[in-house]
Every structure is written in structure tokens, then in C-alpha cells.
A and B are shown apart, each in its own frame.
Chain A
């Protein structure tokens, strides 16, 4: 069971660190990261493994929003993307 975290916003120091440490605190294993910075615009997609996670997905979402200021963050179960884009 995996979830997709997306982080979008103005680039600044430490975004990846904050997101990954929040995941680590929840015992969520990061399996993949893609990120790009275009001019000042930061976009990152991170896949996490939720099997051994110590909190609920909604709780992780709250923590991320609390810990990473000023960015738009979505945390969604991967099935929504699989069902929409895979036959």
C-alpha cells in the first residue's frame, strides 16, 4: 500500500528534508522521489510505503502541512492514480 505526496510551491531551502523527516517520524518508507525546480517553482512527487506507518494517512497529511510552511501539499492513496490512468 503506497501513497503519493506532492509538494508544490516557491522554492526554498530544506523542503525535501522537512518532508522526508516527517515521513521518517511516521515510519513511512520513501520509495521514490522525483523533483524539479523551474525558475523559482518547486515541484516534488514522493512515493511512500505505508505498510509500517505508525499513524493514519490523514494524520501524516496534517503533520506535513504543519511542518512544511507555505507549500501546497497533497497526500493521496496511489489507487486513485492507478484507477484513473491504468486499464
Chain B
């Protein structure tokens, strides 16, 4: 029997603590759209996306109404386009424009999958697609790009890492009049998951079924409120317990919404991504959870330990709540999308070095960080290499989404608006890594890869 306390708790979570379903993402395989003629291929892509996703936004709205739970984003991820480009050849920009049209056709706010998987080397189509990323992101609004440059199993492709420094810079330059938004839609991964529902890094991996529904939940505000209610007298074991219980409840809702959407759309349910995804809204910040645990300002000593506790407890609580867990699953720390992180960065307490340490114990990586516009490409590449190394050695996903703020320097700000938020330009260590980056080649897979 339902009781009043449970009902009021759910309603408070949604109304006052910003609990929501962050994204319902439909993954669509485009492998059967390959054609040796790029025009035919693009047309098939658009038709297939429309066929599968035309009811996606509407279904999301029906579920929102039925359960009274907001579903913030409805999105699509597709097969890495480099695979289609390898077969068709031609100008990769045509694929980007087709994806943009397809996203407009079905009215989703982002479509991910202008991607290439090059962790062990380049195959036909990969280099051409990567070279086209800046143009693709500057001439579209909704297309997101990602490149996987490393994995625990295969090591790090340093030729790709070297390339990505200049691709990021160029994506920022081409969109300099729009707050360098191009770079905010581009993620460089190590160990990229094939079923991630979150943008900008979502793509539909080649091992995935033809069409699938993945769900990303959110709820930093709920976790923080639960800790606040418990008070400062509880020890850290209790804190972990409280986070686990809260994560369980949040994830159960994701599981329910995913099952419902999958049944309504007649598409198999893939995974729930157990992530704590912040938004710039007050009360929806991961940094504020860390501060609630007891670090004065996010970025101070203790932050990494608090984040490790938080990340682990979220997974432990969430994993029992869902039949299939996947994606990134962990706490996100995107600076510009998190009110607490923004404040901590402005105050100079949160630095890029500290963020790098934090990425070793939580989900993803250096995310949504604005850096000076005159940063050398090789420095960006070296930053990617460091982050990829953390992912490779620890067998986890890491990513880099940095935005060179063209024409701006430390102390200035970039303002993207909406969920992408705004952020101060942060200082980078600019000692030159050019000699290492110009070596190229591959960092061999670590000993951890030999599990057989």
C-alpha cells in the first residue's frame, strides 16, 4: 500500500529537488544504410531515422504526462558515420547535414554519432571524417561528434591524439562568433561506451542491436537534499548509505520510464545510465554534493575522496534498481554545466589539475572546460593524452571536452546558455609537449589488458 510519506517524498524530489529523466536516447544502427553512392547513403540515413524515431518526442511527452516526471531531452545516437563514409567515400559534410535534417524531422535536440573509432588505427573514412568535424559542427546545430582515441585493450593512438588538438581548436575558431560552441559538441574518448545515452559523446556502437532505447537519469539535487536532511552528525559510512538509497530510488524511475518508452515504441530497452548529471540550475549541482559532504569549496583537498565515495555509492545503489546498467554510469563533473563548479573555478579553488585527479575516480573526464583561445594545439593534444592514459590504465571511460575560448583569456567567460551553461576561462599549464606529440605512433596497451 502506498503511504503518504512515500508519495510526498517523490513529489518533493520532482518539484523542489530537480529530479528528472535527463535523456531518453534512441540508438539506431545505420549499418544497413551503407551505399557506394554517398547521395543514396544519406537519403537512406534520413529515411531510417525518421522511420524509427518519428514517435520518440511524442512518446516522451505522453510518459511525462502520465507519471508527472519531466523528461528533459529526447535524443538519437547513430552508428559512427566514419563506417558509412568508408563505404561511400565523398564529402563527410553531406552526412552531417543529413543528420541535422533527420534531427529536425523528428524534433530531437541533439543527434550523436558523427564519430570515428580509431583507438588502434585509422581505417578508410576515419581521417576524412575527423578532418571534417570542425565544418560539420559549425554548419549544424544539433549534430554531435566524438572520436575514440584509446582503450585499455589497444593502447592510445597518438597520431589521432595529435590530430584532435587541432580539430578541437578549429571547431572553436569556426564558431568563435557563437561562443565557440563547436568545441562543446565534440568529445575525445578513451574506452568510449557503445551505449552511452548522454551527449555530446553518444553514438550507437557496432555491437548494438538495430534500434534500442537507453535512458540517462539525473538527480544531484535529490542526493544533496537527502544528505542535508540527514545533518552533519553522520559519519561517512552513513553518508554512503544515504547516497545508495537515494540513487536506488532515482534509478528505479529511470528503469520504469525506459521500460514504458520501449514498450510504447516497440523498441528493445537497452540500459539505464546511472549518472549524476548536473545542470546550471541552482540545486542541481554535483559540486554542491561534495560541499555537503564537507569540503568547503569543490576543488579543495578532500574533493577527490568525497567524489570517489559519491561515485561508488551511486553505482551500488543504482545497480540493483535496473535490470541492465550501462553507458557512462557515474558522477559527471562538467564545469560550465554545474553551478557549484562554476563558482569554485571562478574562486580559483578548482583548477584543471584538480579536475584531472577527480576524473580518475568518477565518470568521464575533463568536461566543458573553457581554456584560453591562444592555447597551442599540442597542449590540447597532450591534455587528451594524459586523460586517455588515466582511462587506459584504470580500465574506465575518460573523455575530454574542452573549449578554446577564441579571443579570450583567463578571467573571461564563455556563455553557452541552456543546459551547457557558462564558465570561466581556466588556466592551463603551457609548458610545451610538442616533442612528444610530434613523435606519433601508439602507446602500447598496458599489462592490465592481458586478462585472458
A residues sitting closer than 8 Å to B (CB atoms) are 4, 6, 34, 43, 45, 47, 57-58, 61, 74-85
Contact = CB atoms under 8 A, between A and B. Distances in A.
Contact of B69 (A6, A57, A78, A80): A80
Contact of B2 (A43, A58, A74, A81): A81
Given A58-B65, A74-B11, A77-B67, A83 B4 contact: no
A58 B63 CA distance: 11
Nearest to B255: A83
A76 B6 contact: no
Contacts, number: 55
6 contacts: A57-B65, A61-B65, A77-B67, A79-B67, A83-B256, A84-B249
A4 B65 contact: no
Nearest to B66: A77
B449 interface: no
Interface string B1-44: 01010111111000000000000000000000000000000000
Given A4-B2, A45-B4, A47-B2, A81 B10 contact: yes
Contacts of A47: 2
A85 B4 CA distance: 12
A7 B240 CA distance: 34
A84 B10 contact: yes
Interface SS majority for chain B: helix
Interface string B247-286: 0010011011000000000000000000000000000000
Contact of B68 (A80, A82, A84, A85): A80
B228 to A, nearest CB: 20
A6 B14 CA distance: 13
A82 B249 contact: no
Contact of B7 (A4, A61, A75, A77): A4
A66 to B, nearest CB: 16
B183 to A, nearest CB: 38
A3 to B, nearest CB: 9
Interface string B395-430: 000000000000000000000000000000000000
A49 to B, nearest CB: 14
Interface string B56-97: 000000000111110000000000000000000000000000
* Pairs A-B, 3 closest by C-beta atoms: A76-B68, A83-B256, A85-B6
Contacts of B4: 34, 45
B195 to A, nearest CB: 22
Contacts of A79: 67, 256
Contacts of B8: 6, 43
Given A6-B8, A45-B7, A57-B66, 8 more contacts: A74-B11, A76-B11, A78-B2, A81-B2, A81-B6, A84-B6, A84-B10, A85-B6
Contacts of A75: 68
Most chain B CB atoms below 10 A, which of A6, A47, A75, A84: A84
A35 B80 CA distance: 55
B83 to A, nearest CB: 37
A80 B254 CA distance: 10
A22 to B, nearest CB: 17
A84 B252 contact: yes
B431 to A, nearest CB: 51
A74 to B, nearest CB: 5
A71 B31 CA distance: 53
B253 A80 contact: yes
Nearest to B254: A83
A79 B69 CA distance: 12
A84 B7 CA distance: 10
Given A34-B4, A45-B7, A80-B10, A74 B255 contact: no
A85 B256 CA distance: 12
B315 to A, nearest CB: 18
B90 to A, nearest CB: 46
A58 B69 CA distance: 13
B66 A81 contact: no
B191 to A, nearest CB: 31
